[in-house]
Amino acid sequence: MTILKHLRILVLAAATTLPVGAVAQSLFDTVIEVNNSAISRYELDQREKFFAAINRPGNRRALARESLIDDRLRMQAARDAGLSMTSEQLVEEMENFAGRANLTLAEFTAILNRQGVDQAALRDFVEPAILWRALIQNRFAGQGQISDAEIDRAISTAGPSGGLRVLISEIILFAPPPEQAAQRRVAERISQITSISQFSNEARARSVANSRTNGGRLPWTNLADLPPPLQPLIRNLRPGQVTQPLTVENAFILFQLRDLQETTPAQPRVSSVEYAELVVPTANLTQIAGRLDVCDDFYGAAKRAGIADFAPSVVPSADVPSDLAARLATLDRNEITTRQVSETHTQVVMLCGRVFEATESQSREDIGNDLRQRRLSSLADSYLAELRAAAKITVR
């Protein structure tokens, strides 16, 4: 259904109770203006419904307002840079967006339409994001380059990290079209439940999932193992809270968080160690050590000691001498340890970094791409903030 046809139906439906002028005014009134570009009440309502359809968490009215403002700024900046998309490219990107939910564009559009969302709302959401990405890549191409030294630093500082595991319960409500409205009301009521036992009773009585025999209760699950769209929804819950109903074809799904725990981080084996060491006169130890804040400071200390070819050592962990390995194991990055090696001299050792086996499965190219995307994302956020600061934005 085209946006024009959709609007005509809305106007005709309201014409029996409201003057046509009042309907048109309510639909097309400007509610926000961004650098003289108007955002209508209809666009705002559509964006809010779109966020509801894709189960975006948060205050959807406020999110819709802010995202439309940002999208106007993105489109204006893209046009100023001479960027545009063909209709074929736009359709392809919309298909890609639908594909993330394992749906065709036609299937995704049908779901949106059932929730009162025109396909134009999907287009208006996708187009600014794609053009903005192209603009950022062009504008900050030089600043997005990642050096070998930055990749080395990322590898050396990578280490084990913990995570979260969650106990959740589920309810799947069968909702074929004739029963969809009634089941939506049931789902919305269940989403307000805060009692774990009450949610389990609802699961036993109403859910069509196999877990209904257990009150909808699922076993401990790592948060990272859940589908990506579901992870932020579960992470933002407190025990007892329930997600808003998630809409899939002919069904509504709800999840309740029962408990969560921080998992103990795995401790992968250290594959290699980088450290810097110098033997210095004990009489000068305090003065020299006071200048050593990071491993790069050892170059200056070595030069002052007459050592021209100094370089930190990168040694497989199995090859580090046992006495030195024991001392390095107690250090964090850029911490030092000392050992008297003679009556007049002391060895100073600083840990520069560790490389864990877990990071070796990720190629340098992957690490570089990840660093580049983070940098471009930060630059994009800063640029958008500049555009907002310079823009004339009126909210009515």
| SS3 of 185-250 | HHHHHHCCCCCHHHHHHHHHHHCCCHHHHHCCECCCEEHHHCCCCCHHHHHCCCCCCECCCEEECC
Planar angle of CA 337, 294, 161, nearest 5 degrees: 85
Residues of the chain with CATH 1.10.4030.10: 3-139+386-395
Query: Residue 120: which pLDDT band, with cuts at 50, 70 and 90?
Result: very high
Closest CA to 23 of 34, 35, 11: 11
Return the closest-CA partner of residue 158 out of 335, 336, 316, 357: 357
- Identify which of 163, 151, 287 has the alpha carbon closest to the alpha carbon of residue 225: 163
| Strand partners for 356 | 270
pLDDT for 208: 85
| Neighbouring residues of 65: CB distance < 8 A, sequence distance ≥ 6 | 32, 44, 395
pLDDT value at position 392? 92
Per-residue confidence at 256, pLDDT binned at 50, 70, 90? Answer: very high
Give start-end residues of each CATH 3.10.50.40 domain in the chain.
Answer: 163-263
313-316 sheet: strands from edge to edge: 313-316, 270-281, 345-356, 336-340
Residue from 273, 241, 247 nearest 260 by CA = 241
Phi, then psi, of 324 in degrees rounded to 5: -70, -40
Q: Is the pLDDT of residue 1 over 70?
A: no
Residue 4 has pLDDT above 50, yes or no: no
**Tokens matching residue 387:** 């555009």
Radius of gyration of the CA atoms of the chain, in A: 29
The predicted model gives 23-45 an average pLDDT of 83
**Among 181, 185, 180, 212, CA closest to 199:** 212
Q: Is the pLDDT of residue 144 over 90?
A: no
pLDDT of residue 363 exceeding 70, the answer is no
Count of other CB atoms within 10 angstroms of residue 293:
10
Rounded Cα gap, residues 226 and 229, in angstroms: 8
Q: Which residue has the higher pLDDT, 377 or 205?
A: 205
Predicted local confidence at residue 257, as pLDDT? 94
**DSSP conformational letter for 264:** P
The CATH number of domain 270-358, selected from 3.40.50, 1.10.357, 3.10.50, 3.40.1620: 3.10.50
Q: How confident is the model at residue 323 (pLDDT cuts 50, 70, 90)?
A: low
- Residue appearing with tokens 């050396």: 156
Q: Do residues 98 and 105 lie in contact, with contact meaning Cβ atoms separated by under 8 Å? A: yes
Residue 47 pLDDT: 94
Q: CB-based burial of residue 139 (10 Å sphere; 0-12 exposed, 13-18 middle, 19+ buried)?
A: middle
**Which of 71-85, 155-169, 312-326, 381-395 shows the highest mean pLDDT?**
71-85
What is the secondary structure of 380-393 as a DSSP string?
HHHHHHHHHHHS-E
Least reliable range by pLDDT among 132-141, 151-160, 349-358 = 151-160
CA distance 94 to 5: 21
Q: What is the mean pLDDT of residues 22-28?
A: 57
Class of 163-263 per CATH?
alpha beta
pLDDT tens per residue, range 158-171? 555 556 788 999 99
Looking at the DSSP bridge assignments, the partners of residue 42 are none
Q: What are phi and psi of 258, to 5 degrees?
A: -95, -40
For 271, the 3-state DSSP assignment is strand
Q: How confident is the model at residue 116 (pLDDT cuts 50, 70, 90)?
A: very high
Could you tell me which of 59, 15, 66, 77 has the C-alpha nearest to residue 44?
66
CB-based contact 268:358 (threshold 8 Å): yes
- Tell me the pLDDT band of 8, cut-offs 50, 70 and 90: very low
pLDDT (tens digit per residue) in 55-102? 776 788 888 999 999 999 999 999 999 999 999 999 999 998 888 878
The residue-averaged pLDDT of 259-268 equals: 68
Percentage of the chain with pLDDT > 70?
Answer: 83
Residue 218 pLDDT greater than 60, yes or no: yes
- The whole-chain average pLDDT of the chain stands at 81
Q: What is the mean pLDDT of residues 215-221?
A: 89
Please, which pLDDT band fits residue 372 given cuts at 50, 70 and 90? confident
Look at residue 337 in the predicted model and tell me its pLDDT.
Answer: 85
pLDDT at 69: 94
Given this model, what pLDDT does residue 228 score?
Answer: 66
Candidates 1.10.4030.10, 3.40.50.300, 1.10.3720.10, 3.30.1330.10; correct CATH number of 3-139+386-395?
Answer: 1.10.4030.10
Ranked by mean pLDDT, the top range of 66-75, 214-223, 268-277 is 66-75
List, in order, residues 6 or more apart from 339 with CB less than 8 Å away: 327, 346, 347, 349
Report yes or no: 205 and 189 within 8 Å, Cβ to Cβ: no
